Amino acid sequence: MLRRVRGGIALTTPAAATGATLPDRRLVVTALGITQILAWGSTFYLLGVLANPIARDTGWSYEWVMGGVSVGLLVAGAVSPRVGRAIGQRGGRLILAGSAVLLGLGLLLIGLAQGFAWYLAAWLLIGAGMGAGLYDAAFSTLGSIYGKDSRGAITWVTLFGGFASTVCWPLSALLVEQLGWRGACFVYAAIQLGFALPLYLLTLPPRSYITAPTEQSPAGAHPVRLTPAERPVFALLAVVVTVAAAILSMVGTHLLPLLQARGLELAAAVALGTIVGPAQVGARVIEMFAGRHYQPIWTMVASTVLMAIGTLLLFAGIPIYAIAIVLYGAGNGIGTVARGTLPIWLFGPERYPALMGRLGLPILVSMALAPFAGAIVIRLGGADAAFALLAALAAANVLLVGALWRISRHAREAGED
C-alpha cells in the first residue's frame, strides 16, 4: 500500500505482504518474551550479582568491573541504527539469532578472562549482542511482522521482560554459589547458544512483512527519511525517551544507596527496591487491557506524569517511599510500552524498525553515562542533590511530552487537510 503524506506527516497503513499468512502471534510473543528475560538477565542485570565476586576474585576494583556494562551499552547504542535498518529490510530472525551468538561468545570470554583488557573485550562483544537483541530489536521485529497492529504484542513482550531481574538475579546467585562466577557465565553462555539461538531460528519468520515506500512516496528510495514536518516530532520523541532512559539508569544504579543516605537500613532499602519490578509489571498489565481504548501518546503522557510525581515525592523526603516508588515504577513500566508503540503510531510501520534503531542510540548511550553523572552529583551534593536532579529531569520530561503531543497533533491535523 502507498503511504499518503499530506502537509508532511505520515498517514500510514499496515503493509503486510499481500496474501501472506502472518506467524502465530502467541508463538512469536512467547519466544521473544522468554529470550528478553534471558538477554536482559545475562547482560544488563548480570553484574548486579556477579560484580562483587568478580572484584574479590580478580582484585579489579568494583567500579572497573561495573564499567563493563557501560562499555556494553555504548557499543549497543553504536550498532542500534544499523540493526534497525537491517530488521526493516530482512526481518529480525537472523539479527536476533546473531545477538544470541554474540552474547554467548561474550559471556564465554568473561568466564575465561584472565586480565581486565580481556574482560572489557568480552563486553564489546556483549554490547554488540545487546544492540541486536534487547527491547529495541525485539520491538522492531514485531513491527516488521505485525505493522500497526503490533501494540498488543509489544506490551506482552514488555510483560515478560519485566521479570528479567526477578528470574535472573536469584538464578545468578544460585549459579555463583554452586559454580562460582566463571561457571555462572558459562551457564548463561550455554543458555544463549543452546536455547535462545535455536528458539529464534525456529519461531521467527525469515523476512519482514512490511512494505517499503514506493517510488511515488516522498521518501522514495529512502524509507527512513523524515519529512520537514516529522523532524521536530522525531527529535522531541528522541529527547523524551532518552531522558526517561537516563532516569531509569540512574535510579536503577543509585536508588538503594540514596535511600540508605536518607537513613534507611539496608534491608529496608532492598525491600523498597523490590517494589519497582511488580509496579512496572502491574502498570503494563493495565496498559495491555486498557491501551486499545486510547492512543499511545497518552501512555507516554501517563508515564512521564507518574515518574515525575514519584521522583518529586522522593525529593521531598516525605516518609512514604513505598508510594513514591510504586508511582515511579508504574510510570517507568508503561514508558517502555510507549517507547515501543508511539513511534509506529507517529510514523507508520514501514519506517518503524529503522527509526527504532535510531532511537536506540541515544537511549543506550544515556543508560551508559547516567550512572556516572549520578555518582558525580551524589559526591558533590549528596542524596538531596541526586533526588533533585531526578525530579527536575522527570518534571522537564512532562513538559517535553506535552510539546510532543501538541506538535504531533498539529502535524497530523495538517496531514488530514
- DSSP secondary structure string for all residues of 184-227: HHHHHHHHIIIIIHHHHHHHS-SS--PPPP-TTSTTTT-TTPPP
C-alpha cell belonging to residue 227: 519529512
Highest mean pLDDT pick, 47-56, 188-197, 258-267:
188-197
Looking at residues 361-385, what average pLDDT do you find? 87
**Distance of alpha carbon 268 from alpha carbon 256, whole angstroms:** 9
Query: What's 5's DSSP letter?
Result: E
Beta carbons within 10 angstroms of residue 214's beta carbon: 14
Residue where the block lists cell 548486579: 48
Highest mean pLDDT pick, 255-264, 297-306, 351-360:
297-306
- The two beta strands, 4-6 and 9-11, are antiparallel
Closest residue by Cα to residue 276 from 300, 253, 301: 253
Q: Which CATH architecture is the domain 22-203 placed in?
A: Up-down Bundle (1.20)
Res 317: pLDDT:
76
**Distance of alpha carbon 28 from alpha carbon 161, whole angstroms:** 14
**Distance of alpha carbon 292 from alpha carbon 294, whole angstroms:** 6
| CB of 80 closer than 8 Å to CB of 136 | yes
Res 27: pLDDT:
93
Looking at residues 134-163, what average pLDDT do you find? 88
**Distance of alpha carbon 23 from alpha carbon 208, whole angstroms:** 11
Res 393: pLDDT:
95
Asked if residue 338 has pLDDT above 70, the reply is yes
The 3-class secondary structure across 312-367, one letter per residue, is: HHHHHCCCCHHHHHHHHHHHHHHHHHHHHHHHHHHHCCCCHHHHHHHHHHHHHHHH
Looking at the domain that runs over 230-416, which CATH code has it been given?
A: 1.20.1250.20
pTM of the model: 0.81
In b/e form, how buried is each residue of 307-340, taking b as 16+ CB within 10 angstroms?
bbbbbbbbbeeeeebeebbbbbbbbbbbbbbbbb
Helix (H) or strand (E) holding 216: none
Percent of the chain, pLDDT > 90? 42
C-alpha cell belonging to residue 272: 523498597
**Distance of alpha carbon 300 from alpha carbon 338, whole angstroms:** 5
In a 13 Å sphere around the CA of 206, the CA atoms on its Cβ side amount to: 1
**Distance of alpha carbon 185 from alpha carbon 66, whole angstroms:** 15
Task: Tell me the backbone φ, ψ of residue 162, rounded to 5 degrees.
Answer: -65, -15
Note the pLDDT tens digit of each residue in 67-114.
888 899 999 999 999 998 899 888 889 999 999 999 999 999 999 999
Domain with CATH 1.20.1250.20 in the chain: 22-203, 230-416
**Distance of alpha carbon 127 from alpha carbon 111, whole angstroms:** 16
| Cβ burial, residue 206 (10 Å; 0-12/13-18/19+) | exposed
> Could you give the C-alpha distances from 14 to 135, 211, 217, 348, in angstroms and in order?
22, 8, 15, 8
**Distance of alpha carbon 386 from alpha carbon 39, whole angstroms:** 30
Largest CA distance in the chain: 67
pLDDT band at 191 (very low <50, low <70, confident <90, very high): very high
